[in-house]
Structure formats: structure tokens, C-alpha cells
């Protein structure tokens, strides 16, 4: 009995020691890769907000791929991402972890733009990179929110897809999903742009939302759900569309959790 107890304690100690050094290593790799890519991003920025922004965007995707590889993280895409052809899409997904940013880069092909919080821009160096990859929004500022919507619509008009996390932030509720804001669905109807719901699964287990220093090696997954057409919808259908997409994502999350057990 005492021998088994000692073995368990020793195993737990070794596991905790491994995770401690692993997390330090992951942080170092993140910062190191950032400084390796920054010079190339600075050069790309000289080509302007569109050409330069597209180049920086590709560099960010490469950064995410390399960081995942060196940290022993794996990612899988399930379901078929719609062919872009001659039109953009509005991607919407659940939001539970800081890993959602690299997951987005590893999930979507081609050019797209994301809606992100303006607060992240204050982080030294990373904030500058972040501002090139996302459309910033300050949800507390009504004028800023309106401006971000105009930019999102302009991006769509240029045949570039966008991704929005309709929960607006991490889900700290006891529900599968927190409240979905109407922004993505209003834009979809006004621009008559199809919505592609996505489920980001297991990210919160690999990296809990409360601290970067809780990262563990593991696998994340993106599930592409069936495209939702908004053809013929009007602004009176916003709540209906919101609820439909939310139910699709919630159902798939529950299904994935059940399969995992």
C-alpha cells in the first residue's frame, strides 16, 4: 500500500515537473518566434495596409504552425471548409481559450480577417502584429463598434471572408455557450453573406482560459458545420438566425464531448 502511494506521488511529482519546464519552454518559443518573424513583418508593413497586411497575415499563419509543431501540439480539421470560389463567408465559432487565435490560423485557408478586442493592442510587440491580423473593436465605445462594422462590411465587399466570435469573449458561464451578440448575423443579412458555423473543440482543455501558464501538450480540433444561407432574410430574422447558428454549435459541442467520454 505504501509502495503504491509512493509511486503515485513520485509519478505526480514528475508530471508536474515536466509541465513546469514544458510551459516555460512554450513561452520562450512563442517569444523567440515572435522576434524571428517581426523583421519580416516590418518589411512587409512598408507595402501598405493591403499588400503588406496580406503578407503579415501569411507570416502569422506560419508562426502559428511552427509554434504548434515545436510545442508538440496537434490540430485537426473535420468537415469540409466551403470552396471560396467567387464569394466570401462569415465564419463564427465558440470562444474558450487563447489558443483560439492560432487555431483560427490553422483552420481557415486563404485570406480572411478577424474581429478582435482592442485591448490586446497594448501588449508590446505582439499588439502591433495583432493589429495587422484583426479588425479592432472596443465594445464599450458605440462609435468604435459602428466603425468596426463598417470595416467588416468593406472587407466583405473586397471578397475577403471574416471570422467573428459571437460570444464577444470567453464563456465563463455554466452553459455550453454564453450569449451570442447579433453583430455577425446583422452583417450577414445586410451583406447577404452566408454563415459558416465552426466548433473549436478541446482548446480549453489544452490551454485553460484563465492562464497561459497552464498549457499542456494535446490535440485541438475544428469542426466545420453546414453552411447557413441568409438568402431572402431581412433584419427581422436576426434573432432567428442567431438562435439557429447557436443551436448548431451547441449541439456539435455536446456531441464531441459525448464521443470523448
**CB count in 10 Å sphere of residue 248:** 18
**For 30-45, how does the pLDDT look when each residue is reduced to its tens digit (9 = 90+)?**
999 989 998 998 898 8
Q: What is the DSSP letter of 192?
A: T
**CB count in 10 Å sphere of residue 64:** 20
Predicted structure pTM score: 0.87
**For 93-135, how does the pLDDT look when each residue is reduced to its tens digit (9 = 90+)?**
999 898 998 999 999 988 888 887 776 667 776 777 767 667 7
Burial class, 8, CB count within 10 angstroms (exposed 0-12 / middle 13-18 / buried 19+): exposed
Report the topology of domain 74-260: Glycerol-3-phosphate (1)-acyltransferase (3.40.1130)
**For 160-217, how does the pLDDT look when each residue is reduced to its tens digit (9 = 90+)?**
899 999 998 888 888 899 999 999 999 999 999 999 999 999 999 999 988 778 899 9
Q: What is the DSSP letter of 49?
A: T
Q: What is the mean pLDDT of the chain?
A: 86
**For residue 176, which of 94, 240, 245, 244 has the smallest C-alpha distance?**
94
**For 10-35, how does the pLDDT look when each residue is reduced to its tens digit (9 = 90+)?**
355 558 888 999 999 999 999 999 89
Grid cell, residue 140, equals 464599450
Grid cell, residue 72, equals 508538440
Is the Cβ–Cβ distance between 90 and 188 less than 8 Å?
A: yes
- Longest CA–CA span in the chain (Å) reads 71
Cα(169)–Cα(97) distance, integer angstroms: 9
* Residue-range domain boundaries for the chain: 74-260
Helix residue ranges, H only, the chain: 2-45, 51-70, 100-107, 126-133, 142-157, 183-191, 203-206, 238-260
Amino acid at each position: 500500500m505504501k509502495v503504491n502511494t509512493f509511486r503515485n506521488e513520485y509519478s505526480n511529482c514528475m508530471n508536474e515537473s515536466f509541465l513546469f519546464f514544458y510551459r516555460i519552454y512554450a513561452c520562450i518559443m512563442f517569444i523567440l518566434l515572435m522576434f524571428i518573424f517581426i523583421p519580416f513583418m516590418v518589411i512587409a508593413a512598408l507595402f501598405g495596409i493591403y499588400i503588406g497586411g496580406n503578407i503579415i497575415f501569411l507570416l502569422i499563419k506560419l508562426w502559428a504552425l511552427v509554434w504548434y509543431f515545436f510545442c508538440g501540439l496537434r490540430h485537426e480539421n473535420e468537415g469540409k471548409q466551403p470552396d471560396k470560389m467567387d464569394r466570401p463567408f462569415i465564419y463564427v465559432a465558440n470562444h474558450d481559450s487563447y489558443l483560439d487565435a492560432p487555431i483560427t490560423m490553422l483552420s481557415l485557408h486563404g485570406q480572411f480577417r478577424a474581429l478582435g478586442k482592442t485591448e490586446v493592442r497594448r501588449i508590446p510587440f505582439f499588439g502591433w502584429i495583432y493589429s495587422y491580423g484583426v479588425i479592432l473593436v472596443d465594445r464599450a465605445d458605440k462609435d468604435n463598434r459602428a466603425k468596426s462594422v463598417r470595416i467588416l462590411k468593406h472587407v466583405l465587399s473586397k471578397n475577403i471572408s471574416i471570422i467573428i466570435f459571437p460570444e464577444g469573449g470567453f464563456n465563463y458561464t455554466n452553459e455550453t455557450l454564453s450569449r451570442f451578440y447579433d453583430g455577425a448575423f446583422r452583417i450577414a443579412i445586410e451583406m447577404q453573406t452566408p454563415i459558416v458555423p465552426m466548433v473549436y473543440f478541446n482548446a480549453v482543455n489544452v490551454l485553460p482560459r484563465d492562464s497561459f501558464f497552464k498549457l499542456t501538450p494535446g490535440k485541438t480540433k475544428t469542426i466545420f458545420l453546414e453552411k447557413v444561407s441568409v438568402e431572402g432574410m431581412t433584419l427581422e430574422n436576426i434573432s432567428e438566425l442567431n438562435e439557429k447558428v447557436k443551436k448548431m454549435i451547441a449541439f456539435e459541442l455536446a456531441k464531441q464531448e459525448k464521443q470523448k467520454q
